[in-house]
Amino acid sequence: MQSGKIVVKNLYKVFGQNEQEAIDLLKEGWSKDKILAEKGSVIGVSDVSFSVEEGEIFVLMGLSGSGKSTLIRLINRLVEPSSGDVFIDGQNVAKLPKAQLIELRRRDMSMVFQSFALMPSRTVLDNAAFGLEVAGVGRKEREERAMTVLKQVGLDTFAQKHPHELSGGMQQRVGLARALAVNPSMIIMDEAFSALDPLKRREMQDVLIELQKTHRRTIIFVSHDIEEAMRIGNRIGIMEGGKLIQVGTPQELVDNPANDYVRNFFDTVDTNRYLTAGQLKADSVPLFVHNGQAPDALMVCQQLQDMDKHYAFVVDEFNKFKGSISLEKIALLVEDGQPHSLDAKVLKHIDCIPEDLPLSEVIERLVDNEGPIPVMDEGGFYCGAISKGRLLTRMQGD
């Protein structure tokens, strides 16, 4: 079986009288519109298969009516599937007895909606603690846990206020706190931030991204907003007419859209903004290895001239970055009659940038730094370089 925290297999949802007939007709190639016109059944979700990894934010996008809300409700079985399977932690949700299902939803799966439905007569703290109250957690413990999550969303000082004393964005944060309080491993968010103005929405996205750094949860996030999807999504799934048309990382979808429908989503987006150091790096800087013995200055000088390059990087035998040196600097060393070896004291120290550093910060670093900048992978090993020239060519679409 395909692995993943959430695995969806050949899932269908038909709203109408004869669900199986509609599915058979879909399999025969009938369109969603034809089935509606001739059989009166609405196809909500049609043969959808995908999986969401533990700790991933998976964003579902698609035009209105494409089946996003239906799909996420099928996952927690607020909507009964017409056919197909949903596995959560390897467990078939469709086969769970009702009581266990309710337990799963209550303890391990929170939902956050656009209308956050706070209870006006209760304090912020009591609203945040509501899920725990329903789960039968005692007052002292639930208030402590609610306070902890209110801190996480930056609302602890408002704990004793009532919802009407809060702005829309703050109310949405209470909604998020309520979802987090039960400490679920999964959160399903349906257009959770859509009612907020752009600034508040960004702020909530930041809260979510920050939270995800400390507590990695599996999140399915429905959004209309491509900028939002690209900002928070590890992967994005695009739905059209009940079908999941394409799944991929933001960059994969931008680079290889499956069709015009997918491409259109990205038309308005300045996709360069989403580039990271890892996508911008190249093997453009000559690399020399200091394996106990520093590289010879004259040899490096000669090779740089042969390659028409101005800079060299030096790494140790494990591929950890040691420093950079320019052709000019080597020339000076050689002129001065200094020892002909490029050891640590003649190299220029540069902090490596991580592969996931976004373009804006890469640019800042390039502005501050004369030559190219080294990039390191997750293990801290050198994996490429970014120069100003390289950045400009990449942004032109090369």
Q: Which two tokens stand for residue 202?
A: 């960004």
> By C-beta, is 41 or 69 nearer to Mg ion?
69
Strand ordering across the sheet containing 311-316 = 287-290, 311-316, 321-326
Which residue is associated with the tokens 């370089």?
A: 385
Selection from ligand ATP, Mg ion, none that 65 binds (CB < 5 to 8 A by kind) is ligand ATP
> By C-beta, is 62 or 237 nearer to ligand ATP?
62
CA–CA gap between residue 93 and residue 186 (Å, rounded): 14
How many CA atoms lie less than 13 Å away from 36 in the CB half-sphere? 9
* CB distance 248 to 236 below 8 Å: yes
The least CB distance from residue 275 to ligand ATP, in Å, is 29
The least CB distance from residue 241 to ligand ATP, in Å, is 9
Selection from Mg ion, ligand ATP, none that 64 binds (CB < 5 to 8 A by kind) is ligand ATP
Pick the stretch among 37-45, 64-72, 223-231, 385-393 that binds Mg ion (CB under 5 A): 64-72
387 lies in the binding site for ligand ATP (CB under 6 A): no
> Residues 14-43: x/- map of binding to ligand ATP (CB under 6 A)?
-x--------------------------x-
The least CB distance from residue 118 to ligand ATP, in Å, is 21
The least CB distance from residue 8 to ligand ATP, in Å, is 14
Cβ neighbourhood burial of 63 (10 Å; 0-12, 13-18, 19+): middle
44 lies in the binding site for ligand ATP (CB under 6 A): yes
> By C-beta, is 239 or 391 nearer to ligand ATP?
239
Q: What is the C-alpha end-to-end distance of the chain, expressed in Å?
A: 39
> By C-beta, is 69 or 223 nearer to Mg ion?
69
223 lies in the binding site for ligand ATP (CB under 6 A): no
The least CB distance from residue 201 to Mg ion, in Å, is 17
The least CB distance from residue 37 to ligand ATP, in Å, is 13
Span 45-104, contacts to ligand ATP by CB under 6 A: 62, 64-70
Q: How far is CA 163 from CA 117, 204, 383, in A?
A: 10, 17, 50
CA–CA gap between residue 136 and residue 297 (Å, rounded): 72
Cβ neighbourhood burial of 363 (10 Å; 0-12, 13-18, 19+): middle
How many CA atoms lie less than 13 Å away from 102 in the CB half-sphere? 5
Of 69, 82, 218, 324, the one binding Mg ion (CB under 5 A) is: 69
The least CB distance from residue 111 to Mg ion, in Å, is 12
Q: Which residue is nearest to Mg ion (CB)?
A: 69
The beta-carbon contacts of 259-265 under 8 Å, at least 24 apart in sequence, are 262/238, 265/61, 265/226, 265/238
Interface with ligand ATP (CB under 6 A): 15, 42, 44, 62, 64-70
Interface with Mg ion (CB under 5 A): 69
